């Protein structure tokens, strides 16, 4: 803007100067022209008076005529004398305008191009008393001559004008722009600037307030968006139409193993798995795509959805879900269904087979008690299996059960007493020691926990072995350990013994009447009481289960 004002000011100055020079030159041209005419008239009058008093020819030859041309003519137009040409060779001047006027009126004048002098001439003629005509002429003053005569001062004036206009334009432009440069656009109405800027400043203030309101609203929305996405357990990634990351929440950062610095980078550079890039391409083409992948031992589902505005693709949204538990639960559910079908089928087949033999009469009378006993044992096994499944279903549903204070030492002693017959049969000694510790719990569930642990300790023990149950208090928790001197559990099976229907030794479990659900019931029942169960076993030396329960729920 400063340069524009500077150029405009200089241009105006030069235009004014040029106009002034034109006017001055016109005035000077007019002035010098009139002055020349008057001088020529005066010289003509003096010369005519002098010639009337004496010898005209002798006077003319003595006259200094460097500044003008003198011509003396007879009344018939014949040239008698001329200061610039040979009179004898000159043509008749009777038809010249100034000569005709002088003969007719006593004086005459004209201005025309002279073929003799080869220039534009100014002519004045006067009739003398003897009838002859005296004419004076001079080269007419031209604008070029006037300009040439004043060229040096004009150039000096132009140079001075350029310098002064440049300095003035620079100062004026700076003074004009300086208030504009000092404008406080954050507070437009507080500026002391030109009155002409008031409408603009009021509009700026109005727009500033609108922008501030819009920015505040955008900041609030951005903060709300960040807070919402930061609290999401699902990963969220916003992408533009080229697949560049625009926003990523902490959950997605954890899944993709990156941080917020990945914003502005292509998604394929952040996650190089080809399944993700293929899902992005499919989503951009078809509108939606999904894929699953495993990262750090966890199973994740990636859902990609295209975003469109006015029929054009503007980006995409990527949602990541941790489906490890769902996948594990689905797998367990399928395995559980298959195992339940198998476990129910086995005793039913035994019952049906024995019943068919009895019905066909193929069983000898002395063998009938054995077949009836087999049917009863298989039926009992079936009932036990169904009861265990019902208990697990109740624990899975997580319904609220009434709790009461449970004395663990007393409960363990009652459990050991209930299994004394089985222990005596295997010649296994069961001891219960420790201190009385009371916890809030569901007595039936806790009784099943310790009954299952103690029953397994007896079943999988060696003859003349031992089972030790110890109750103690550790800080804010009650601790119950069930240790045996049995066969132990191989290390490769220890991580799976709490799974449903999992058996380390299937033949031994079936012969002992186990359903494969006992330890699973233990795990779920302890978890229902917000406790933990730990396993420590050495093959061939024995196993110890440690149950920890909180003293306060």
Contact 544, 483 (CB under 8 A): yes
Tell me, what's the pLDDT at 392?
Answer: 61
Q: Which residues contact 282 (CB under 8 A, 6 or more apart)?
A: 289, 304
Tell me, what's the pLDDT at 508?
Answer: 45
Look up residue 406 and give its two tokens: 């449970």
Tell me, what's the pLDDT at 69?
Answer: 85
Tell me, what's the pLDDT at 544?
Answer: 93
Q: Do domains 337-397 and 404-550 have the same CATH topology?
A: no
From CA 307, how far away is CA 239, in angstroms rounded? 9
Q: Which residues contact 8 (CB under 8 A, 6 or more apart)?
A: 169
For 233-322, which CATH class? alpha beta
- 404-550 adopts what CATH topology? Heat Shock Protein 90 (3.30.565)
Q: Would you kindly state where each structural domain of the chain is located, as residue ranges?
A: 2-149, 189-231, 233-322, 337-397, 404-550
Tell me, what's the pLDDT at 509?
Answer: 45
Ranges of the chain whose pLDDT falls below 50? 507-513
Write the burial class of residue 172 (CB in 10 Å: 0-12 exposed, 13-18 middle, 19+ buried): middle
Cα–Cα distances in angstroms (integers) from residue 244 to residues 116, 288, 314, 375, 461, in the given order: 93, 17, 11, 69, 63
Contact 40, 68 (CB under 8 A): yes
Does domain 2-149 fall under CATH 3.30.70.141? My reply is no
Question: b or e along 365-384 (b: 16 or more beta carbons within 10 Å of the residue's beta carbon)?
Answer: eeeeeebeebbeebeebbee
- 337-397 adopts what CATH topology? Helix Hairpins (1.10.287)
Radius of gyration of the chain (CA): 63
Look up residue 20 and give its two tokens: 């002034």
Widest pairwise Cα distance in the chain? 200
pTM of model > 0.85: no
Tell me, what's the pLDDT at 203?
Answer: 81
From CA 320, how far away is CA 322, in angstroms rounded? 7
Tell me, what's the pLDDT at 191?
Answer: 60
């Amino acid at each position: 803007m400063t340069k524009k004002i500077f150029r405009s000011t200089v241009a105006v100055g030069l235009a004014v100067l040029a106009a002034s020079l034109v006017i001055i030159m016109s005035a000077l041209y007019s002035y010098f022209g009139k002055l020349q005419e008057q001088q020529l008239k005066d010289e003509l009058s003096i010369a005519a008076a002098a010639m009337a008093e004496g010898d005209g020819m002798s006077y003319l030859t003595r006259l200094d005529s460097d500044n003008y041309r003198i011509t003396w003519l007879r009344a018939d137009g014949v040239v008698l004398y001329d200061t610039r040409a040979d009179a004898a060779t000159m043509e008749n001047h009777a038809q010249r305008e100034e000569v005709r006027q002088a003969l007719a009126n006593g004086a005459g004048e004209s201005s025309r191009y002279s073929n003799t002098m080869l220039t534009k001439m100014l002519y004045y003629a006067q009739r003398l008393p003897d009838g002859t005509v005296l004419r004076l002429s001079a080269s007419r003053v031209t604008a070029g001559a006037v300009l040439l005569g004043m060229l040096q001062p004009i150039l000096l004036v132009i140079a001075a004008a350029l310098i002064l206009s440049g300095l003035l334009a620079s100062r004026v432009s700076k003074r004009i722009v300086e208030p504009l440069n000092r404008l406080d656009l954050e507070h437009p109405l507080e500026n002391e600037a030109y009155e002409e800027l008031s409408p603009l400043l009021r509009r700026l203030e109005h727009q500033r307030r609108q922008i501030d309101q819009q920015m505040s609203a955008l900041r609030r929305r951005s903060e709300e968006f960040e807070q919402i996405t930061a609290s999401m357990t699902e990963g969220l990634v916003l992408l533009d139409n080229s697949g560049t990351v625009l926003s990523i929440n902490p959950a997605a950062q954890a899944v993709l193993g990156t941080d917020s610095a990945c914003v502005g980078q292509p998604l394929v550079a952040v996650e190089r798995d080809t399944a993700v890039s293929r899902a992005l391409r499919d989503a951009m083409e078809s509108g939606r795509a999904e894929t699953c992948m495993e990262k750090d031992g966890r199973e994740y589902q990636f859902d990609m959805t295209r975003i469109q505005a006015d029929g054009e693709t503007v980006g995409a949204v990527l949602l990541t879900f941790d489906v490890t538990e769902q996948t594990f639960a689905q797998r367990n559910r399928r395995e559980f269904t298959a195992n339940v079908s198998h476990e129910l089928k086995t005793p039913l087949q035994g019952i049906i087979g024995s019943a068919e033999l009895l019905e066909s009469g193929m069983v000898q009378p002395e063998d009938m008690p054995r077949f009836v006993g087999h049917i009863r044992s298989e039926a009992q096994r079936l009932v036990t299996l169904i009861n265990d499944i019902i208990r697990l279903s109740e624990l899975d549903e997580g319904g609220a059960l009434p709790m009461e204070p449970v004395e663990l030492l007393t409960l363990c002693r009652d459990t050991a007493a209930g299994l004394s017959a089985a222990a005596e049969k295997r010649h296994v000694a069961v001891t219960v020691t420790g201190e009385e510790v009371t916890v809030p719990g569901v007595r039936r569930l806790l009784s099943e926990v310790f009954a299952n642990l103690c029953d397994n300790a007896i079943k999988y023990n060696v003859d003349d072995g031992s089972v030790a149950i110890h109750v103690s208090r550790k800080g804010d928790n009650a601790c119950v350990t069930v240790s045996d001197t049995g066969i132990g559990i191989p290390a490769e099976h220890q991580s799976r013994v709490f799974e449903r229907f999992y058996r380390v030794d299937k033949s031994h479990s079936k012969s002992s009447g186990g359903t494969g659900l006992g330890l699973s019931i233990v795990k779920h029942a302890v978890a229902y009481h917000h406790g933990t169960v730990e396993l420590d076993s050495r093959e061939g030396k024995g196993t110890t289960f440690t149950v920890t329960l909180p003293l306060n729920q």
